[in-house]
Amino acid sequence: MSIVMLVGLAVMSLALCLTFIRLFRGPSLPDRVVAMELFSSILVGMMGVIAIATEVSFFLDVAIVVALMGFMATIGFSRFLERGGPRDD
């Protein structure tokens, strides 16, 4: 594994830790939704770097699934926030 990949993983790990803090301390629900989307995006990036470093293509498949699940969760929470929370319609 090259130095660039190690530095990239270290920076993404730091960003993941800071995003995790924002996810739990976020002052509002929209802040937490954005933090959750960023969390999944950083995970996808880390999986991509690991896939390149180890030359195992399975990590890319997992990264695609994580990206899709993160996107769908963000859409779901956005709809929830747009409608103003739980209702009995």
Which pLDDT tens digit goes with each residue over 49-80? 999 999 888 989 999 999 999 899 888 888 88
The predicted pLDDT at position 86 comes to 58
The predicted pLDDT at position 79 comes to 85
Give me the half-sphere count of Cα atoms (radius 13 Å) on the Cβ side of residue 81: 13
Name the residue with tokens 């103003």: 84
Answer whether 35's CB lies under 8 Å from 19's CB.
yes
- Residue-wise pLDDT tens digits, 12-40: 999 999 999 998 887 888 888 889 899 99
Rounded to an integer, what distance in angstroms lies between the CA atom of residue 89 and that of residue 87? 6
pLDDT at 89 over 80: no
